[in-house]
Amino acid sequence: MLALDPVVVFAVSVCLAIVLVLRRVNIALAITTAFLVYSIPLLGLSVFNVVAESFNATMVNTVVSLTLAMVLANLYRSTRASREMVESFESLGWRTASIGVPAAIGLLPMPAGAYVSATMIDPVYSKAGFNGEEKTFLNYWFRHIWVSTWPLYQNIILASALLGLTYSEIFARTWFIMASSALAGIVFFAYISRNSVVNAGGKYRLKGLIHLWPFPLIAFLSITLNLPLYLALSTVVVLFLLLYRPGGEVVKQSVKKSLDPTLIGLIIVSLVFGNAIRASGLADTLAQRLAGYGALAVFTVPFSIVIATGFEFTFVALGFPALKTLLTATWYYTTLAFLGGFLGAMLSPAHACLVMSAKHFNTPIHKVYKYTVPAAVLTLSTTLLLLTLARMI
């Protein structure tokens, strides 16, 4: 019997997953199908052992962390915290609010989250005289500057589990992308707002900024102290409940919305898929074949996956298990992989945040690329420059 090439089988399974996602098949079901197409031909009956071994402490910690992150996000936007925070940003001036509001809401990962910040920041953008594509770009871009570093994002939670890296280790490898994307956004905001004049008006109301406290506390606990994310989030959620005392119905709805079967299913099948890839030896095979093209491979594979699917975490779920040997052997390969995933997500026409933002601001998506493409190029070049300097030190 002819032995199957794991690289070919993996390529087929990924392409199938992408096709299914583009056909609007549930993302968790699409990844499950890819897992079955990959693992059954290569592992046979031993696939059952792989599945059983995958249900371990790592999976429990990952699923609990994801759920708690969603609980906090839903609680935050359902209480006075988010409203008073936005009001304080607006009191600091329209320029500060234009950047600060979508960036602050970006600390709360949620499906199509840019739509939430779009509804909040629209009056400020309108006063500044921005057109539809300018509003969409600014809200969309600043909403996502944290994607490569912030421990609440699904791709970071999943990458930590798949690569065996702490959140501080991931941050140390990916902050280049956050800094570069923020700089790119500021450069284009300066260009877009160069002729805008808005009356200041009103007094500074800084009190609302105190509601940002959960985010530095999460960063301190999970990145600085290296506490497991579920412990850091549990601490913050309990403090939030004690301080804001949301009603029982608010808590109930926040928990209900957080128990998203699609996201939970995606995390579970991604971890099982990763173990199947490990058992089949694909990561080592791929590392040997791409030995001379490692940097290009770790950038291109995540970029290609996520630009096709539009889901930020698919580049981790599908790409990282196969690239694990490369990503854990050379620290800056992790940076390149996240860079490819970030840029692919920002340029993907299937990205829900882009679609929903453009819909809210009533602008054709293709017009937004007038800004997203050059901003992506600037992010790419700045990140590569910072990465080169860091490797020289």
93, pLDDT greater than 90? no
Compute the distance between CA of residue 19 and CA of residue 97 in angstroms, rounded to an integer.
39
Rounded CA-CA distance 260/163 in Å is 24
Q: Are residues 241 and 175 in the same domain?
A: yes
Let me know whether 78 and 50 are in one domain.
no
Q: Are residues 34 and 156 in the same domain?
A: no
- Encode pLDDT of 16-33 as tens digits: 988 887 788 888 898 899
Per-residue model confidence as pLDDT tens digits over 339-378: 999 999 999 887 878 888 888 899 988 899 999 999 999 9
Q: What are phi and psi of 70, to 5 degrees?
A: -70, -35
Residues 14 and 90 in one domain: no
Q: Is residue 110 domain-shared with residue 252, that is, in the same domain?
A: yes
**Boundary-marking domain end, from 248, 282, 316:** 282
Q: Cβ distance 109 to 160 under 8 Å? A: no
pLDDT in tens, 248-291: 999 999 899 888 888 788 888 888 988 888 888 888 888 888 87
Asked if residue 156 lies in contact with residue 149, where contact means CB atoms within 8 angstroms, the answer is: yes
Condensed to tens digits (0 to 9), the pLDDT of residues 171-219 reads 999 999 999 999 999 999 999 999 887 765 566 778 888 998 998 999 8
325 with 225, same domain?
A: yes
Same domain flag for 44 and 59: no
- The Cβ of residue 169 has, within 10 Å, a number of other Cβ atoms equal to 16
> Looking at the structure, do residues 272 and 255 belong to the same domain, yes or no?
no
Distance CA 150, CA 127 (A): 31
Q: Which two tokens stand for residue 272?
A: 């099982």
Quote the pTM value: 0.84
Under 8 Å between Cβ of 287 and 324: no
- Say whether both 94 and 115 belong to one domain: yes
Q: Residue written as tokens 């249900």?
A: 55
Residue 166 corresponds to which tokens in the numbers above? 């702490």
Q: Where are the alpha helices (DSSP H) in 200-330?
A: 214-219, 229-244, 248-258, 261-280, 282-289, 294-309, 314, 320-329
The number of distinct structural domains making up the chain is 2
C-alpha distance across the termini of the chain, in Å: 52
Range of the domain at 333: 55-259+290-392
Same-domain pairing of 30 and 106: no
Residues 113 and 15 in one domain: no
Q: 4 and 107: one domain?
A: no
